[in-house]
Structure 1
Amino acid sequence: MDIESMLVDDSTDIVFLVHYGDHTVRVELPREKTVGSLKMVLTRKTGLSGDDMDLLGWDAPAVADEMTFEEMGIEKEYNLILLAKNGSEDDRDKTSMTYHIQMEDEENDETFNLYFNGLQTVQDVKGHAATLSPIPVDRQRWDGWPWPISDHQSLMEVGLKTPTHKLRLNRIRDIVRPLGSNNARSNYLDTDNITEDEDDTEDDLEAVASASPSLAAQRGSLIPDVTLPIGAAVDLFVQNFEQRYGDKHVSFFVGALKDAMSFAFDRPITDRQLLVIYLHHDRSISVNIFVTQILQSPLIIEHVTDRVVVWPWDVTADDNKKIVRREIEQALGVDGGIPLSSIADQYPFMLICAKMKGSVELLRTIDGSKTASEVLHALEYADGVQSRAKAIEVSEQEARNRNRIMVEEQNVAYQKSLEADQAKAEAKRLLEQQAQLAENDARELIRRRERRQEEAAASLPPEPSQANGDPITIIRLKTPDGKNLTRRFSSNEPLKQLYKFALANGFPQEEFKLVCSFPRKDLGELDQHKSLKELGLTQQIALFVEEN
């Protein structure tokens, strides 16, 4: 599509993209200019008089020539359609045109070809997209529409590109919320107004220390270095955890929380797993009991294996609380701060999450007071909720697939009918394009081959002189076209230098092999890092260059 530029004033504020037939006229005017001044510029560019022009696409219901753009509230870029009232050749009837929209569903990695007439609206496009993609209309985020648009505008008014207009569809991300609740924050440890009695906590910890001196000696954050990257910090957590409690425990995911989410959720629907965020506080009275009775329970270990991704973090240090709060906000999309308790004995803590219909749901929370049977019951409940959601999502996906197949079949038939009149011209264009691409590919292949040859030649050491007394191997390559390539090599050079020599002369190893005639031996089967002397290639060696 041709774009013509009209620079009227250095102080221009508004860019008008006026679509006229197959052309787009670009006009820049200050906000204090009028509709009449725009028509004057278009008269110079198109030859149409102001009386013969019909400008479509204004937001205002009634537009007069003396109205200024500032009065109309127009800012930045504005798309209009110019129709000629006298019915000129460039003014096709846009109400009867077929608009081809190529919609790329980036969330589901699918592309759809959609066809609409000029009287259909933006809302019609969005509604049709919802029948093909699992993203409902109220959660759709679009990129690629001309600006500005509204849902009620017809496609002939919005200034779509022809013959194809490309749009990208994504989902407006949900925040993490508890199942059946509108308030995600209420399910976290909401303890902003709770203060800790430091003396009582220290007394409790001293009691535990006296009862178990070995544990007291080991007490401290499992992530003492708060400067580590998230993945390295989790790895350190696992090492310190196993040093303290042993290696028999539920399997921990080592990596950032967003990577744990991807591992649990970014897979076929039926294979999705639950995600459990485990928050460990080493100054908690309950932590050792929770580890031994929950995380090291054979029943719990058996249940979570291949079903649950467990991501651990230590919140003993205040800095680590801030880090995990930020990690949860970024990875799970929680809007606002995550209230984490400052009281050690409210830990350990688990958040059980699942992906359901494209958003992450918080299904259950578990604190350090729960028994193994209570934790197992919570996990089984979450499994049940997720399984039912999977079944619904699979059913909906199958319905969408059937609908998509039907629409695609209709689109293919319709597209064939539209392209019938243009088949010869299109075929010629494609042939020319393919020929040009093939020529470009061939040139690029030649350039890459030449660069490789030059690099190989430059990397070869100088031929050794026979006068210095070092052992020399003289290699003669007989090429497929009957030529002989001869060069001296130090017998101490590795075999790979011989292949560089062949590459420098246009015989790369991936296309050609070097073969001894008697006994017949493919040098590619030898260790190329060994010297010619170690491989027995000394004095004068004749080799044949053969195609693979």
Structure 2
Amino acid sequence: MSDNQDKEETLASFQTITGIDDVGEAFSHLEASNWDLMEALKRVMPQEDAPVFNTNIQPPEPPAPDPVAVALSNSNGFRPFNYDEMPGPSQSARMFPPSQSQLLAQLTSSINLDPTKQNNNQNVIKFNIHFNQQLYQICMPPNATIEQLKRKIFDVTSVPQCRQAIRGWQPSRASEAQQPSTQLCNLDLSPENDLILIDLTDDGFMDTEQDEVTQRMDKVFNLKIVQQPEGREFSLNPSGQTTIQELKTNVYYITNIQVRHQEWTGWPSGCNNDTNIAQSGIEETHSFVVRNMANRAQNNANLHANTEVVILDSESSADEFEDATDFNNSEYIFSDSPPVQPLNRHLIPNNTNDETSGSSQFVENYRQRFGEPFPDFFVGSLDNALRLACHKPAKERKLLAIYLHHGESILTNVFCDHLMKDEAIIQTFKENFVLYGWDMTYESNKDMFLSSLTACINSNASLTARNIKLDKLPAIMLVGKSRLMGRQTCEVLSVIHGNIGLGDLQSRLIETTVLYEEQLQGEIREEDERAARDQVKAEQDMAYEATLQADMAKDAAKRQKEAAQAAERKRIESERAEEDARRESIRLVASQSLPPEPAEHEANISKIRVRKPTGDHLERRFSIYHTLQDLLNFVAANGFLIDEYKVFSGWPRRDLTAIDGSQTLESLKLYPQETVILEERF
């Protein structure tokens, strides 16, 4: 690795630990410390952090890893809800390491997280599926895939996998959660997770989670923050684009708690300082609790320094402890290892009242007792396992193999350590069966499971399991869906007892699988024929629908054309009516403006004859002192508008409409009589 790469990693680690976003400032601290990370941290750490580097504190023996503490140390200052602070030796040991190198290892533990290792500490991952205003709880092993989770969701909600849209994943893992083969342990999940199921119906619903994140960027969030232990409350209203680092800086201005000392409760899992509020998945109104880790570290250091840790044996009485006053002064050193506890024969605790939790404990205890490899047991209720195996189309149907375990049977160890570890047996179960396990050791668990067999399959299945003798256990019941009296039911097809060899077990499983597949061939043919009929009917319906749509389109086009023609006629009629009204208005104005017609015996009279385009004439007497406009008004009063017609004199030919209308007839030589000609304008 080059020197530049080393410096880049040191710079990134320094910024992650101290929370300093300014690269220039961080660079200057490292340069001043000659790129020694510990020296640079000493320069930045305030004086009140001095107890952290106190190497005089002697920590007790390191306790077993605490999943909650591990999650806290890997959360960059984020803590889950309902985290109870329990100060004590184990916590102070984690909080006050004995050396600076151990401190650096602890502080930098959040830089390279391993989600797979983190999730492998969990026996079961719990999912709360919200769908149609109901809550469905599903438990899955960490190594289960998204496809297996969707199968479980189908079992409880009846929503097919092809129509399932699951929302609520961490934004950074949303794309991986869309892959069916992705394992749950690789999604940085919490022990309990809330997911929202949306049914992608035939109406064309599309999952718009990413679009909603984009829309949330511009929204204003109402964050209610409580500072503990002071109990001080305040509110902030940042936008969705604000990063968590920026929010921490704003809180520093209010509370004076430095960013690197802020410990938050209320963020969803998977958030880091670079996540913005819109991507974090919180509601628009959300509550947080923030604490000062520096103060708590100081308090726990004082508690650890002033407290003697005394461990009492749970089986010792108070009197016995009083007699042991000289125990600490004893010179005896007990170096013998404690006796190894025998493995628990019971894979499910007594009086289990929930099949899902009992199934989960069965798988985990089976793995711990018999080790790897082991068959892939279904985790959940018997009804869900039966749905996954039998309540499906014939092509997808499998056999349900119910493994009945008994811790008191002498066959158990041989059967589990040899037969159930065989790779061929494990592969056969994986390909052809849904394997479900249950522990029949306790009578209470046995009775509950027998009742479940009666409810899910029938009373004969329960009676078959009850009559298996202890010397024949463990046993495997093979259940399949078969035809009986014209209807389909689930029946016990075969029972394989534990006193069997490896070859016989393999042949029995294969033989039952082959016979079952032969029985399914008839159902598969019927389903194919039914699917073909449905396809033909669907095509006919589509053709009819297409024809119907075409006819409707033609009718709509015809109606649209008729409506357009009617509108055009109405427009033309309206324009014609407006034109007629305009012409009539002009005619009336011209008629009213005409001077009275002189009598025939009066002097200075001009008799004007107007020849129309049709050949007939109009005649009227005018005074020679009347104007040309009076003549034009006479023409217009008779329906020949001047903007449509021209008036020409006979000789010499003149366009009278182009002459000033205020000239008299006398000045225009239009007396004692004259014939003028009307010509239409073009």
TM-score over 0.5 for the pair: no
Select the structure that is richer in helix. 2
- Give the alignment's TM-score, normalised by structure 1: 0.35
Higher RCO (CA < 8 A, seq sep 6+) = 1
Select the structure that is richer in strand. 1
Based on CA coordinates, which of the two structures has the bigger radius of gyration? 2
- Give the alignment's TM-score, normalised by structure 2: 0.28
